[in-house]
C-alpha cells in the first residue's frame, strides 16, 4: 500500500533522519514524494540517490507537501512556524515531533483552524519499530486515520490526550535509552561470565526481543512470565532478588520520575 501524497520532514537531525529512513523502509510514500530540509544540507546529500528531495528552504518544502513533520529543537520550531504561518491551511497537516511545545502553543502561532498533530516517536522509527504516541486538534476523521496509519507502518502507534505527551516522551522516547542501558549492563555481566562483547550483545539483544515478543503476543503481565522461569530455591530467583535488593526496579522508577520532573520544568 502507498499513500499518494507528499510528505515533508523539516529538521533532519537524530529523530528527523530516523523518520525519513523509516518512511523509506516502509515504502509508504514514493521517494520522489518525500521532502527533507536542514541547514547543513551536505549531511543529507546521500538521500538524493534514493530520489528524495532535499532543501534548505523550509518555505518551499512546506508549499510542496501535504503532511509536514517538524523535528527541530523548540526555539527553532517557533521561528519556523512564525516565518511560514501564511503557508499553512486546512489541508496542510502539521505533525510536530517537538518536545515540550503543546497544541495550544502551536495554535497560538499558526491559528486555531490549522489541523495539528503532535507525535512522540523514538529512534527505532528508523527500522519501523517505534512506539509513537499521537495527539491532535482540529483535524478531520480521515486525517486522523491517515496519520495513525503512517505511524503504524513505522511501528506501533496510539492516540493519547495532549496532556499526556510529556509522559509519552519519557516512557517511549527516553524509554529507548533506558532499555539500551539495560542491554549494555547485561552485556557487561555476560562478559564477566565468559562471553566476548559481540556474543554477549547477540545473546542479550535476542533475549530482550524474545521477552518483548512474548508479552506482545500473550499480553501477560511480565511477572507471570517471570514466574515461569523462577524455580523455588532456584538460580534465577536468587539473581532477581539480589537485583531488587540493589534497587533495580526502584532505580528505574526513580529515573523515570526524575526525567518527568525535568520535562515538566521546560
Ligand atoms: N532524539 C529523539 O529521540 C527524539 C524523540 C522524540 C522527539 N524528539 C524531539 O525532536 C526534536 C529534534 O530532536 P533531535 O534529537 O533530532 O535534535 P537534532 O539532532 O539537533 O536535530 C534537529 C535538526 O534540526 C535542524 N534544523 C535546525 N534549524 C533548522 C531550520 N531552521 N530548518 C531546518 N532544519 C533545521 C538541524 O540541522 P541543521 O543544523 O543542519 O539545520 C538539526 O539536525 C526536539 O524537539 C526533540 O525534543 C527527539
Distance CA 118, CA 35 (A): 19
Question: Does 241 lie in the same domain as 174?
Answer: yes
Question: Does 112 lie in the same domain as 11?
Answer: yes
pLDDT tens-place string over residues 101-140: 999 999 999 998 899 999 999 999 999 999 999 999 999 9
CB of 3 closer than 8 Å to CB of 66: no
Question: Does 136 lie in the same domain as 107?
Answer: yes
Q: Which of 113, 141, 160 is the last residue of a domain?
A: 160
* Among protein residues, the one whose CA lies closest to atom 9 of ligand 1: 98
Tell me if 1 is assigned to some domain. Answer: no
Q: Give the pLDDT confidence score for residue 27 in this predicted structure.
A: 97
pLDDT tens-place string over residues 217-260: 999 999 999 999 999 999 999 999 999 999 999 999 999 999 99
Tell me if 2 is assigned to some domain. Answer: no
pLDDT tens-place string over residues 179-210: 999 999 999 999 999 999 999 999 999 999 99
For ligand 1, what atom is nearest to the CA of residue 174? 3
Whichever domain contains 232, its CATH number is 1.10.3730.10
Give the confidence band of 162 by pLDDT, cuts at 50, 70, 90: very high
Domain limits at 257?
170-264
pLDDT tens-place string over residues 55-65: 999 999 999 99
With H, G, I as helix, E, B as strand and everything else as coil, classify residue 69.
Answer: strand
pTM of the shown model: 0.96
Tell me if 165 is assigned to some domain. Answer: no
**Cα(74) to centroid of ligand 1, in Å?**
9
Question: Does 217 lie in the same domain as 126?
Answer: no
Question: Does 192 lie in the same domain as 151?
Answer: no
Q: Which of 130, 160, 190 is the last residue of a domain?
A: 160
* Among protein residues, the one whose CA lies closest to atom 26 of ligand 1: 11
- Our mutation pick for probing the ligand 1 site, out of 18, 38, 95, counting the most ligand atoms within 8 A of Cβ, is 38
**Cα(131) to centroid of ligand 1, in Å?**
19
Question: How many domains does the chain divide into?
Answer: 2
* Among protein residues, the one whose CA lies closest to atom 20 of ligand 1: 13
- Beta strand 130-137 with 116-120 is antiparallel
Give the confidence band of 1 by pLDDT, cuts at 50, 70, 90: confident
Tell me the backbone φ, ψ of residue 38, rounded to 5 degrees. -160, 165
Q: Give the pLDDT confidence score for residue 175 in this predicted structure.
A: 98
Distance CA 162, CA 103 (A): 7
Q: Which of 139, 160, 181 is the last residue of a domain?
A: 160
Question: Does 127 lie in the same domain as 61?
Answer: yes
pLDDT > 90? residue 266: no
Count CB neighbours of 112 within 10 A.
12
Residues enclosing ligand 1, CB less than 6 A?
10-16, 37-40, 58, 71-74, 76, 80, 97-99, 120-123, 173
Question: Does 152 lie in the same domain as 103?
Answer: yes
- Our mutation pick for probing the ligand 1 site, out of 10, 14, 65, counting the most ligand atoms within 8 A of Cβ, is 14
CB of 132 closer than 8 Å to CB of 172: yes
Overall size of the chain counted in residues:
266
Longest dimension (CA), the chain: 69
Q: Which residues contact 4 (CB under 8 A, 6 or more apart)?
A: 33
Question: Does 150 lie in the same domain as 60?
Answer: yes
With H, G, I as helix, E, B as strand and everything else as coil, classify residue 50.
Answer: helix
Tell me if 143 is assigned to some domain. Answer: yes
Amino acid at each position: 500500500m502507498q499513500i499518494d501524497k507528499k510528505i515533508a520532514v523539516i529538521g533532519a537531525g537524530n529523530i528527523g533522519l530516523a523518520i525519513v529512513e523509516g518512511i523509506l523502509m516502509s515504502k509508504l510514500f514514493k521517494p520522489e514524494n518525500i521532502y527533507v530540509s536542514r541547514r547543513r544540507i551536505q549531511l543529507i546529500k546521500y538521500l538524493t540517490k534514493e530520489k528524495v528531495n532535499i532543501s534548505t528552504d523550509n518555505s518551499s518544502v512546506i508549499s510542496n507537501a501535504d503532511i509536514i513533520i517538524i523535528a527541530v529543537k523548540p526555539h527553532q520550531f517557533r521561528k519556523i512556524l512564525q516565518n511560514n504561518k501564511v503557508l499553512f491551511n486546512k489541508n496542510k497537516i502539521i505533525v510536530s515531533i517537538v518536545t515540550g511545545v503543546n497544541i495550544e502553543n502551536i495554535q497560538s502561532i499558526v491559528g486555531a483552524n490549522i489541523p495539528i498533530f503532535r507525535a512522540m516517536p523514538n529512534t527505532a522509527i528508523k527500522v519501523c519499530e517505534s512506539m509513537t504516541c499521537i495527539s491532535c486538534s482540529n483535524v478531520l476523521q480521515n486525517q486522523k486515520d491517515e496519520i495513525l496509519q503512517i505511524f503504524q507502518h513505522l511501528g506501533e502507534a496510539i492516540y493519547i490526550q495532549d496532556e499526556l505527551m510529556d509522559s509519552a516522551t519519557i516512557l517511549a522516547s527516553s524509554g529507548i535509552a533506558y532499555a539500551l542501558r539495560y542491554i549494555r549492563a547485561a552485556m557487561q555481566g555476560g562478559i564477566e561470565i565468559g562471553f566476548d562483547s559481540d556474543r554477549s550483545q547477540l545473546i542479550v539483544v535476542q533475549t530482550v526481543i524474545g521477552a518483548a515478543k512474548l508479552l506482545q503476543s500473550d499480553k501477560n503481565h511480565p511477572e507471570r512470565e517471570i514466574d515461569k522461569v523462577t524455580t523455588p530455591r532456584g538460580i534465577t530467583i536468587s539473581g532477581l532478588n539480589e537485583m531488587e535488593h540493589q534497587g533495580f526496579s526502584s532505580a528505574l522508577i526513580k529515573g523515570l520520575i526524575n526525567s518527568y520532573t525535568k520535562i515538566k520544568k521546560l
